[in-house]
Each structure stands twice: as structure tokens, then as C-alpha cells.
Amino acid sequence: METPLRKDQETLLRGVRPNIVQSIRAFRVHDLQDTARAMGHHFLYANLAHAQSKQDILDLIATQFTFPAHFGKNFDALYDCMTDPLHKSGPQPGFIVVLEQIPITAKFDKEAREQLLDIFRDAADYWGDRKIPFRCFYSFL
């Protein structure tokens, strides 16, 4: 059952495209979570502050998003878990995803960060093609 939207929740995502990956900027995680709940959307949150490498990132996302045990722990498997199985599991109301404190380390450099965000951009496109909102917000450590 959806919780009625409060006025501040109605305006929180005003001006934010329904299928986008963007910096969290002035948004607060708690407000995004409340808005997702009120809208009946899935809220997926991962705090990546303790990650040092791509493998750490994938492990933390898998754990915090509660991916199945068979998750392949690579970027292709991440994309797969964010799209097709969810689509096949039935109607989806929408998604608000937060990737907080993505690390900037030698083992997770700018190219790796862009690859990670590209997966979420591809997932946003996937859901956009199906007219399902998918908003991903991120911050760097």
C-alpha cells in the first residue's frame, strides 16, 4: 500500500527526469528513501566508503542490494541483476537508487568509476524503454 505523498515529497523529484543517473548534490538519502516509499518505488542504497577496488564495490553492492548468491560479481552481472530478472519478476513501480561515497582510489580509478556509472545509466535506459522510472543518485568519497 502506498503512503500518501507529502507536499515536500511531491516536489523533491520535480525537475528530475524519470530515468537518470546524477550526482546526489542537495538531496538527502533519508528524503529520497521516504519519497521512494511514498511513491511505492524500490529504494536501493549502497554505501561504498570502505571499498578500495572494483571487487569491493561489487561485493558491497551485492550485499546491500541483496542480490542472489549466484551474482557473478562483475559489471555484466551487475547490469543483469539491475534489469532483466527484475523485469521478469512482474510489474515494477519504479526505482530510486543511491550509490553513496564511491571511492577514488588507485584500484578504482576514474575509468572504473565511469564504467560503474555507465552500468546504472544503461539500466536507466533499459527501464526508460519500459516506461518505468529509474533514478540513480551518487556521490564520491
Q: Any idea where the domains of the chain sit in the sequence?
A: 22-140
pLDDT of residue 69: 86
pLDDT of residue 9: 60
pLDDT of residue 11: 75
pLDDT of residue 1: 45
Instruction: Give the SS3 label for residue 60.
Output: helix
Distance CA 9, CA 96 (A): 13
Distance CA 141, CA 53 (A): 13
CATH superfamily of domain region 22-140: Barstar-like (3.30.370.10)
pLDDT of residue 24: 96
Amino acid, res. 102: I
In this prediction the pTM is: 0.90
- Nearest Cα to Cα of residue 16 among 27, 4, 5, 28: 27
Q: pLDDT under 50 in the chain at which residues?
A: 1-2
pLDDT of residue 3: 52
* Residue 21 β-bridge partners: 136
pLDDT of residue 84: 78
* Residue 108 β-bridge partners: 105
> Which residue has cell 564504467?
115
Q: Which helix (H) or strand (E) holds 102?
A: strand 95-102
pLDDT of residue 8: 58
pLDDT of residue 89: 78
Q: Is 58:73 a contact under the CB 8 Å cutoff?
A: yes
Amino acid, res. 80: D
